[in-house]
Amino acid sequence: WLIDEGYCCAGALAYLESGEMYAAAPVADEAGWGMVYKEDHEEDIMQDDMSTKKVTINEQSAILETAKGGRPANGLWVGGAKYTITQTTDETIGDSDVKCIMANRPKQGLCIIPTTSQLVLAMYNEEKGATQNAGNCKKTALAFAEYLIGAGY
């Protein structure tokens, strides 16, 4: 649903309680999983004194912390790539108010929207077409979140 219009290159659903992802798109050859998820991995993280330190990144907990309004100490990592949180807005969809968190990296970005029990994650990649941009990604993610909320999620 998130990728059908061509505004997003990948999407995922996760449980709001744990941050555990249970669905990803595109589903063909599990391509979506490769874009939205990476097992715990080590990364060199810049420290305050400009040195680097190897840190184990758990993407699931970073996404969950972001969805709950926090800023992960080691950054927001999705699919093995680091994103910068650029905007958090309050949006009204139907009768519900939701948070919409936008994050990006060069020519790519994502939108995270927590509903009452789910996390919607939508990603875009500007190199995959002119219609893939932050505005279209946000619009598509909000529409999907509205569908989920309407269905009781």
pTM for the full model? 0.94
% of the chain at pLDDT higher than 70: 100
DSSP string, 87-143: EEEEEEETTEEEEEEEEEETTEEEEEEE-SSEEEEEEEEGGG-TT-SHHHHHHHHHH
Average pLDDT over residues 9-26: 95
Residue whose entry in the numeric block shows the structure tokens 């589903």? 27
- Reported confidence tier of residue 119, pLDDT bands at 50, 70, 90: very high
Taking residue 17's Cβ as centre, other Cβ atoms within 10 Å add up to 10
pLDDT digits (tens, 9 = 90+) for 41-100: 999 998 889 999 999 999 999 999 999 999 999 999 999 999 999 999 999 998 899 999
Q: How far apart are CA 150 and CA 21, in angstroms?
A: 21
Average pLDDT over residues 138-148: 96
> Which two tokens mark 122?
């939508």
Q: How far apart are CA 10 and CA 122, in angstroms?
A: 6
